[in-house]
A and B are shown apart, each in its own frame.
Chain A
Amino acid sequence: GENVEQHPSTLSVQEGDSAVIKCTYSDSASNYFPWYKQELGKRPQLIIDIRSNVGEKKDQRIAVTLNKTAKHFSLHITETQPEDSAVYFCAASPSYNTDKLIFGTGTRLQVFP
């Protein structure tokens, strides 16, 4: 089955710096790659996603890139702010006919003022 690896497990940056989180997946049939943000004590929420027919997608300060050949995708956050501090999860959908998602192990991002 699908396996998603995520790195780093923790990331500390200064406010205003950029942050990059990387994920790799094993199943070449995976075609959908969302990113979820989980603030302390709260539920995960979708922040951005990318599909296999797209190489890059941006939404204000966040962007996601996908390299299908290498089977990896990354989350980029620019101009980080303290409110970006959270745990970020990448995921991959290994199915063409369901919403099944396999998640990575998460990255705890801390943004220091």
Chain B
Amino acid sequence: NAGVTQTPKFQVLKTGQSMTLQCAQDMNHEYMSWYRQDPGMGLRLIHYSVGAGITDQGEVPNGYNVSRSTTEDFPLRLLSAAPSQTSVYFCASSRGEVNTEAFFGQGTRLTVV
């Protein structure tokens, strides 16, 4: 049981490039979410999904796209990377039965130059 797995762990992008951060969970969790962590800003919710085929915007969705075609996977796409998107990105999942523990992936450190 691997829990929540994110790939890659580190990535450097040039401004304007696009890429996909991968997130997979093997706990059959319905709810999945993406956060970005910046110094002094805490964890800010980018997008979330309550189940396959359903996604919604969080606090800071601009510049990011998501889709949820399966229960297990929830990729985050950066359409045209900007230096302001330099951050540590965390994917999290939970059972989705309301007020259940969130399990986080190990994070992806992204630098946009």
Contact = CB atoms under 8 A, between A and B. Distances in A.
Interface stretch (A57-65, A67-75, A76-84, A98-106): A98-106
Interface residues of A, number: 29
Given A43-B90, A43-B104, A97 B43 contact: no
A103 B105 CA distance: 16
- A contact patch SS: loop
A1 B90 CA distance: 21
Nearest to B96: A99
Interface residues of B, number: 27
Contacts, number: 69
A9 B107 contact: no
Contact of B99 (A45, A89, A99, A103): A99
Interface of A: 1, 6, 9, 31-32, 34, 36, 42-46, 49, 51, 89, 91, 93, 95-106
Interface stretch (B16-24, B34-42, B71-79): B34-42
Instruction: List 7 tightest A-B contacts by C-beta distance, closest first.
Output: A105-B42, A32-B99, A43-B104, A103-B43, A99-B31, A99-B94, A106-B42
